[in-house]
């Protein structure tokens, strides 16, 4: 496994950012460029590349103000080197000389002396630059906070309309924080108490979730593969909000349960854990590659009684005929804009649109409509999305009533979440609940 020197890690980060510019994807590029590196190098490169993407708008604003130049005319490696330097200076504890010198050296290796000299000279203007003071000069409130927290203005305006102007800055701050590492205990193999004790005995700093017994939080940064119980399948990496989708479904042993959009397996394996492998689960997904990941996760966690079906229930009439009125419970964790998980995927700030949200809404409604045929009379359906958009949440919950569903009550809702409850719907937020932003709606046929 390779360990890097300073300039090399910046060179890789620049290459990741160059790739991100082309397709607005981040995770795939981080994995591709860091796969053979040590955990320490991988973590550092992920931090500076992801952080640069997270604060992209603010960094570009600051560079333009400091340099009095537009970055668009620069070569991608120069542009992204300057962003990288600005991020390190503004948001990390990296010493200024290392942030500048190592990144300049990376540009020299990539492009030669002249571009490196330009980056070096330009970076000097960032030393001591007060971005907050410059942002305060922006006259429009929404432009100002969108720049400061680095979001698209259209996103910020609509979230303020949805959730209140008094709360918007707290929401933006929380979406910029790096999400904690949470483990969902696999009850098929271990109890929460035993896993907690195992982690503590190996010197891992761990804490219990304040009110969800199945969730443990790891303090600090630890390579996941090195955690005790990882190889044995004692846990699954899962945010509390994601686990809640399976938990709020309230699955029971001996029931036939459909999990729609099941891959890569967080909710399927959570249902199996909750029912201790005694429910029968049909896990459906449209993505073949992700379905293989789901199968591997089930095997690792000791999950049984799962049938894997590669299909789209909204287009597969034969599947609907085969399972008509069959399922006791259905979970639809629908494909969505994923604006509720931006703290985990900062590239999500820059690859969304109103058109995407409207497209998702059509897909989500088609799934809800099709699932009605599959649910037993008296059966329960839980719909969830990791989205902050009301088109994908509240508007779909209303539309579901036109498909024949009746509102139902959450039977096992934690007291600490009741402030987010509205009838048969629930919202959780990073700034209110310290978990990803999710919407849930529960229905009965």
Contact present, 329 and 267 (Cβ < 8 Å) = no
For residue 41, give the nearest of 85, 1, 9, 82 by alpha carbon.
Answer: 9
Tokens of 141: 């409130």
- Contacts of residue 31, defined as CB under 8 A and 6 or more positions apart, other chains included, come to none
Distance of CA 65 to the CA centre of its chain: 32
Distance of CA 325 to the CA centre of its chain: 33
Instruction: Give φ, ψ of 34 to 5 degrees.
Output: -120, 5
Sign of the Cα pseudo-torsion (236, 241, 246, 247, in order): positive
| 129 burial level (CB within 10 Å; 0-12, 13-18, 19+) | middle
Q: How does strand 425-428 pair with strand 438-444? A: antiparallel
Tokens of 397: 């919950």
What's the CA dihedral at 381, 385, 391, 396 to 10 degrees? 0
Which residues are registered as beta bridge partners of 443?
A: 381, 407
- Determine whether the annotation assigns residue 316 to a binding site: no
- Determine whether the annotation assigns residue 41 to a binding site: no
386: annotated active-site residue? yes
For residue 48, give the nearest of 111, 3, 99, 4 by alpha carbon.
Answer: 99
Tokens of 65: 């103000």
Give the SS3 label for residue 199: helix
Sign of the Cα pseudo-torsion (397, 400, 401, 407, in order): negative
- Determine whether the annotation assigns residue 259 to a binding site: no
Give the count of alpha carbons within 13 A of 143, CB side only.
Answer: 8
What is the spatial distance between Cα 212 and Cα 38, in angstroms, rounded to a whole number?
Answer: 33
E strand or H helix that includes residue 182: strand 181-185
Annotated binding-site residue numbers for S-adenosyl-L-methionine = 285, 312, 333
Annotated binding-site residue numbers = 285, 312, 333
Active site residues: 386
């Amino acid at each position: 496994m390779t360990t890097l020197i300073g300039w090399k890690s910046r060179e890789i980060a620049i290459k990741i950012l160059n790739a991100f510019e082309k397709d607005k994807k981040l995770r795939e590029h981080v994995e591709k460029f860091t796969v053979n590196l040590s955990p320490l190098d991988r973590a550092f490169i992920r931090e500076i590349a992801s952080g640069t993407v997270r604060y992209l708008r603010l960094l570009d604003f600051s560079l333009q103000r400091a340099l009095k130049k537009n970055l668009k005319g620069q070569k991608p490696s120069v542009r992204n080197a300057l962003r990288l330097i600005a991020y390190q200076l503004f948001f990390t504890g990296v010493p200024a000389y290392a942030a500048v010198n190592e990144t300049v050296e990376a540009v020299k290796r990539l492009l030669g002396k002249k571009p490196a000299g330009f980056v070096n000279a330009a970076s000097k203007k960032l030393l001591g630059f007060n971005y907050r003071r410059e942002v305060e000069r922006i006259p429009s409130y929404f432009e100002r906070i969108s720049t400061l927290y680095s979001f698209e203005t259209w996103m910020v305006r609509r979230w303020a309309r949805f959730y209140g102007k008094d709360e918007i800055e707290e929401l933006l701050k929380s979406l910029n924080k790096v999400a904690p590492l949470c483990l969902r205990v696999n009850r098929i193999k271990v109890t929460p108490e035993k896993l907690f004790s195992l982690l503590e005995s190996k010197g891992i700093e761990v804490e219990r979730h304040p009110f969800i017994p199945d969730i443990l939080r790891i303090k600090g940064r630890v390579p996941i593969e090195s955690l005790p119980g990882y190889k044995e399948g004692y846990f699954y990496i899962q945010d509390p909000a994601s686990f809640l989708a399976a938990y709020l479904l309230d699955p029971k042993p001996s029931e036939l349960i459909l999990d729609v959009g099941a891959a890569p397996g967080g909710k399927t394996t959570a249902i199996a854990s909750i029912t201790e492998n005694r429910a029968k689960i049909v896990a459906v997904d449209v993505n073949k590659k992700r379905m293989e990941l789901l199968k591997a996760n089930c095997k690792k966690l000791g999950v049984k009684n799962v049938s894997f079906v590669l299909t789209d229930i909204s287009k597969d009439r034969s599947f609907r005929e085969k399972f008509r009125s069959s399922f006791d419970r259905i979970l639809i964790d629908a494909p969505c804009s994923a604006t509720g998980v931006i703290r985990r995927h900062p590239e999500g700030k820059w690859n969304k649109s109103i058109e995407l949200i409207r497209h998702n809404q059509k897909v989500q409604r088609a799934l809800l409509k099709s699932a009605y045929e599959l649910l037993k009379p008296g059966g329960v359906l839980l719909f969830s999305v990791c989205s902050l958009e009301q088109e994908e949440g509240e508007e779909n919950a209303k539309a579901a009533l036109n498909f024949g569903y009746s509102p139902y009550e959450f039977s096992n809702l934690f007291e600490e979440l009741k402030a987010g409850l509205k009838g048969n719907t629930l919202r959780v937020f990073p700034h209110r609940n310290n978990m990803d932003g999710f919407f849930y709606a529960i229905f009965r046929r």
